[in-house]
Amino acid sequence: MDIKAQARAMVRYLPILDWGKRYNKDALTSDLVAAIIVTIMLIPQSLAYALLAGLPAQMGLYASILPLVAYAVFGTSRALAVGPVAVVSLMTAAAIGNLGLTSPAEIAAAAITLAFLSGVVLLAMGLFRLGFLANFLSHPVIAGFITASGILIATSQLKHILGVSASGHNLVDMLHSLASHLLDINLPTLAIGVAATAFLFWVRKGLKPRLLALGIAPRLSDILTKAGPVAAVAVTTFITWGLGLADWGVKIVGDIPRGLPPLTLPSFDLGVWSGLIGSAVLISIIGFVESVSVAQTLAAKKRQRIDPDQELIGLGASNIAAAISGGYPVTGGFARSVVNFDAGAETPAAGAFTAIGIALAALALTPLIYFLPVATLAATIIVAVLSLVDFSILKRSWSYSRADFSAVAVTILLTLGFGVEIGVSAGVLLSIFLYLYRSSRPHIAEVGLVPGTEHFRNINRHKVLTDPKLLTIRIDENLYFANARYLEDYLQNRVAVDCGLTDVVLMCSAVNQIDLSALESLEAINHRLQSMGIRLHLSEVKGPVMDRLQRSHFLDELTGQVFLSQYAAMKALAPVGAAA
């Protein structure tokens, strides 16, 4: 490999070498401002999402330091903000819950191992360029899964708002458990939780317009709005400490180890690996889909591009970084990435600066949140995830495609009823089944010539010219094992009722691939038509498809011809009709 090729390979796997050489003072200023805003937002989120994952609060901070640095080195998005997110935190809790662990040390070790496995899966997918696998998660399934997950997450936090003990891994169990403990509600906790939730909703919707109306600059208004959760944390912590509410049953965060993330290693117990690998794959794919969709949307706004396969490597490196620094699985978050973009982030360095801010918080601020009510963190989670709930996908999918509606509905219902892993797995399998079902029954149109043109259209939709001796059908799908027999049966039934036919033309303008099963079906069709005195022709065969056909014996045995265009086929086989 020459020097230039080596340099291109280095830039391919280390995007920092590309944007880093053009880094300047203006980009530094923009990245620092964005980092300040995202840091303010991320500190309470990190603590809250660790709570959601069933992990010690400090693990949320740890997962927000080294992973951001790793993504800054290996990621291609200029605005994506990596860290703990709600859906992945919920999936982490579900995955660890399946192991039946009770020791806090074992649970933390399992979370670290899950991050490591997710990182390995993502890295492998990136190195082998397997980003296309995420395409099997259709948008309706993702939308349904995120909506159901948002409901589950919000419901799971109600116990902290109410100050009661409740459990459950699905909506029914959670609601039943909450209902059975309604008489145990802790009133001080309820007051704090409701007040914090109401305040955070108001901050999200009403604070910025109020600040702008007061004449405060837009950038400062943004910072103050994003600082809303921090204000809720500070005020409720002070109130809890000042009034001694911990003695009244208000659950607090308690002691959080002070300092930078420790050096950790995943467990290499094969039993733990086998119990987590399935969840790691799901978390990796869900996290990648969420991350890359956000990254592509933000990149398009600045006419930038991202490399999905390199994004896999960047996210893989981030998760391995989380595993070696006491964290748990991470991915690109929608809300904080949008905030990072709107705050003016120019390069991935903004993420590295954010990591420095979180590290300073881990060093200096953890003693100050000893009396932080868990209800406040629960309120932060509820307000964040309810914005993900979107039932309009049900209406849109129902009006557009009943098959997509069924995929959305099944995903939502199974996620709510049986948990996140079963829900998303069923949604993916149903989407694949529906695709196979639809493509196994491709749209086949009998076409004719539009008068005065060389165009061919469906005889049932347009006034077209046809010839009683010539049948032309257009196949609007690739031909492969699942639909090859369907084409055989269609032609057999169509030809059987028309005794005047002498020629059949398969118009292949929409066929991009013919696999071996379909080739054998074409051979069978050719022989059957030949026995009936009918010739089989092809038209508008694409180059790659023709290349494969030429490597077989099919063209040698074809009773008819291969025409460059359908118009040429009609001129040759039905000249009177073509001339009309």
Give the pLDDT score at 8: 66
Tens-digit pLDDT profile for residues 472-524: 999 999 999 999 999 999 999 999 888 889 999 999 999 999 999 999 999 99
Average confidence (pLDDT) over 128-139: 77
Confidence of residue 5 (pLDDT cuts 50, 70, 90): low
Tell me, what's the pLDDT at 428? 78
Torsion-angle region of residue 573: left (phi > 0), alpha (psi -120 to 50) or beta? alpha
pTM metric for this prediction: 0.82
pLDDT at 578 (0 to 100):
56
Question: What is residue 515's predicted lDDT score, i.e. its pLDDT?
Answer: 95
DSSP-assigned letter for residue 135: G
What distance in Å separates the CA atoms of residue 550 and residue 547, rounded to the nearest whole number? 5
Q: Is the pLDDT at 354 greater than 70, yes or no?
A: yes
| 344 phi/psi in degrees, rounded to 5 | 100, 20
| Model confidence band, residue 2 (pLDDT cutoffs 50, 70, 90) | low
Q: Are 337 and 79 in contact (CB under 8 A)?
A: yes
> Is pLDDT of 464 > 90?
yes
pLDDT of residue 364: 87
CA 521 to chain centre: 38
The predicted model gives 33-61 an average pLDDT of 90
pLDDT at residue 446, as a whole number: 95
Average pLDDT over residues 92-117: 94
284-to-18, 117, 128, 434, 569 alpha-carbon distances in Å: 26, 9, 15, 24, 51
**Predicted confidence band of residue 111 (pLDDT cuts 50, 70, 90):** very high
190-247 pLDDT per residue, tens = 999 999 999 999 988 888 888 888 888 887 887 788 778 888 999 999 999 999 999 9
Round to whole Å and give the CA distance between 244 and 578. 92
* pLDDT for position 546: 96
* 164-189: pLDDT as tens digits: 988 887 899 999 999 999 899 999 99
User: What is the full DSSP assignment across 392-456?
Assistant: HHHHHHHHH-HHHHHHHHHHHHHHHHH-HHHHHHHHHHHHHHHHHHHHHS--EEEEEEPTTSS-E
Query: How far is 124 from 471, CA to CA, in rounded Å?
Result: 50
**Domain edges within the chain:** 24-431, 444-579
Q: How many separate helices (H) and strands (E) can be counted in the chain?
A: 27, 8
The pLDDT, as a whole number, for residue 431 is 79
Q: In sequence order, what are the residues at sequence separation of 6 or more whose Cβ sits closer than 8 angstroms to the Cβ of residue 216?
A: 224
Could you read off the pLDDT of 244-293 as tens digits, one per residue?
999 999 999 988 888 899 999 999 999 999 999 999 999 998 889 888 88
In CATH, 444-579 is 3.30.750.24: yes
Report pLDDT for 146. 84
How does DSSP assign 236-258, residue by residue? HHHHHHHHTGGGGT--B------
With a pLDDT cut of 70, the percent of the chain lying above it is 97
Taking a C-beta distance cutoff of 8 angstroms, is the pair 200, 235 a contact?
no
Average pLDDT for the chain: 89
